[in-house]
Amino acid sequence: MNIFDFITQDEIDDLPDNDPQAAFVRFVRISQRRLGERSAQIDVNDQSGWEELSEARHGFMNVVIAAAKKYEIEPFATLSVPRLKNFGSDEHRQFKADLDHYLTQLLLDNSSRSKRDSVLISSELKDSITYFIYAS
């Protein structure tokens, strides 16, 4: 799989410009979904199916590392993509585990940051705002 099998140009254009971490998370989410969809279509009961699955997983690792380099997301920005002949299911599983671990940290940090930047309002004020919105 190549970059356009994982994400379309329109999806790339819609990635956030002002938040590299959010752009990286969205890029990975879209790419993971496409990898899952493609993997489900592959018949792994023969050698060619296993090779196709391995190439798809390698392609996923390749585009995620490239995106990490673009957005300067460490530790992935400094990773090297393994050669295809040295890439197998263990490398994919480890990369996926590391990526999930990092994304969990990012998502939790973004959630904390959003809460920190928000303002607590009373239920009366909330009701007033809701009234003005729907009355308009």
Give the pLDDT of residue 73: 95
Give the pLDDT of residue 113: 60
Query: How crowded is the C-beta side of 120, counted as CA atoms within 13 Å?
Result: 1
**Cα 4 to chain center, whole Å?**
15
Rounded Cα distance, 49 and 93, in Å: 18
Rounded Cα distance, 125 and 127, in Å: 5
Give the pLDDT of residue 7: 96
Regions of the chain where pLDDT drops below 50: none
Selection from 37, 27, 23, 36 nearest residue 7 by Cα: 27
